[in-house]
Amino acid sequence: MMYLLKTSVLILLFYLFYKVFLEKETFFTQNRWFLIFGIFAAFTIPLVTIPIYVTANTSYFSEFVVVGTTSEVVTNSISIFLVVKYLYLSGLVFFGIKLCIELVALVTIIRNGKQRRHRKFIFIETTKETAPFSFFKWIVYNKNQFNKEELQQIITHEKIHVNQKHSLDHLLIQITSVALWFNPFIWLYKKALLQNLEFIADSLTQQQLKNKKSYQRLLLKTSLNNTQLAVATNFYTSIIKKRILMLHKTNSNKTKQWIYLAILPVLAIFMMSFNTKTITENNLTLTILKNDTTRLMITKDTKESEFNHFIEVLSNKGVTAKFNNIKRNKKGEIIGIQISLKSKHASSSYSVKSDKTISPIRINIKENGKHISILASNRIMKTQYFSAKNKTYVLSESDDANNIIILKAHKNGESNTSEVIEIEELDAEGNKVIAINKSKKVMVFTSDKENSPLFLLEGKEITTKEMSEIKSHLIENMSILKGEEALKKYGERGKNGVIEVTLKK
């Protein structure tokens, strides 16, 4: 729908430019091409995107390793945009059918009339009370409505329409009017375009006639109402007075033709205002942070060549990288990806698949692969666990991608919410734990397998992967055991901590 809105705005700009600067000039042929150009520009310019490259802001993350499979939650609901979409389609069908009916009526008149071919023209004599008109090579008229001199003037006028292929202009503006039926200015634009075609035919017809005043009298005579076909080039129109005034108008000074170029800065302003796209320039940026962390960034616009560069960069850091199942939408933006990173000391994986574009994904490599992290800014919907520095951590949902919820583990295993702090602010004390939160944003962290805690679901040992697949809203209670308490209850198996999980009944 945004495309149609931009198209409508461009139609408005071209129409206002024509009315203000061009309508009163006698550059009829130039005006014709200007108005046709306006239609094509209105439908093509919204498809052009001007990239604006910016440097993305980066932030520090902890040394912990981010892992895990993710899933996107997509909600479907009836929105105002859906209602507008169906309203637009209804109008499109209505005006489309109306145009088809008019074409059928035109073809019927041509087929039922008496035909006479002369060179490239086909003259159709009809008995219907309809205005004289031309449609491509066919010229239709009712000879009973005119005397011989008048009929000759009308045929001369219609021949000009045929020779200059004005029927193509008619079809173009008719189809455009159907596509943009909701825009009131397209109907004014249509009137201006068709009116200008008559100015062209009148001007050239009068140049070929010896008695110019008789042609003007013919215009006055034929100003009475007659049946007209919208898709044909009619001799009669409702602008007879303006047509006669334009015939008397002195030709415009040719030096004024520079005014057509004035539309270019208008289009440039439009494109810079509505057709720009910000592109993060650090997709290929290799950043070395003060804590010896190498950082790479993946966005929805990352290209295949950039992934190859990532693989090379990570390989130099002792990390084997794989980027698989990269899915893109029609715009070429990434909507799904699987990432796998592995070194001698740690490994990490990440995957996402949705009908929406991915959030920015940061890859951090510290100490030549001893610590690996993959972090998406939002939409990660699973809980993960890790151990590091003799502490067990459970990281889940947070209201801010840069913040986490810190809970304290008591001796009885119960947890109470403490506060929201930055990851870097974790102190060195041993009994803090990050626990499950019920918001809709998640950051996922884990460590290498050697330091993973012992996971127990209803008393039964499960793997880290099985634990990660448990949905947070199903958990009734989670107890964390550390140090001597964990060793006393579970022996050597509890040396890295124990997490006991009870599900809701």
**481 or 5, greater pLDDT:** 5
pLDDT value of residue 473? 66
In terms of phi and psi (left: phi > 0; alpha: psi -120 to 50; beta: otherwise), the region of 351 is: beta
Q: Where are the domains of the chain?
A: 2-53+81-271
166-175, 374-383, 473-482: least confidently modelled range? 374-383
Q: Environment class of residue 82 by beta-carbon count within 10 Å: exposed (0-12), middle (13-18) or buried (19+)?
A: exposed
Q: Write down the pLDDT at residue 44.
A: 97
Spatial CA neighbour of 364 closest among 64, 71, 68: 64
pLDDT-derived band at 323 (thresholds 50, 70, 90) equals very high
Question: Which of 25-34, 51-60, 165-174, 312-321 is predicted with the least confidence, judged by mean pLDDT?
Answer: 51-60
Lowest-pLDDT choice from 6-10, 151-155, 209-213: 209-213
Q: First-to-last CA distance in the chain?
A: 47
Kindly give, in sequence order, each residue whose CB lies less than 8 Å from that of residue 224, ignoring residues fewer than 6 positions away.
236
Please tell me the predicted confidence (pLDDT) of residue 286: 47
- Between 23 and 241, name the one with better pLDDT: 23
In the prediction, which pLDDT does 279 show? 61
Six token digits for residue 334: 């990434």
Mean per-residue pLDDT for 458-485? 76
Q: Which of 93-102, 367-376, 378-387 has the highest mean pLDDT?
A: 93-102
Question: pTM to 2 decimals?
Answer: 0.56
- Looking at the DSSP bridge assignments, the partners of residue 50 are 276
Question: 84 pLDDT exceeds 80?
Answer: yes
Of 18-22, 216-220, 248-252, 408-412, the least confident: 408-412
Residue 312 confidence (pLDDT): 85
CA angle 239, 38, 178 (to 5 degrees): 70
Residues whose CB is less than 8 angstroms from the CB of residue 244 and which lie 6 or more positions away in sequence, other chains included? 216, 219, 220
H-helix or E-strand spanning residue 32:
helix 28-44
Per-residue CA distances from 366 to 258, 265, 282 (Å) = 62, 50, 19
d(CA 321, CA 205): 75
DSSP state of 473: G
CA neighbor of 63 nearest in space, from 282, 294, 403, 377: 294
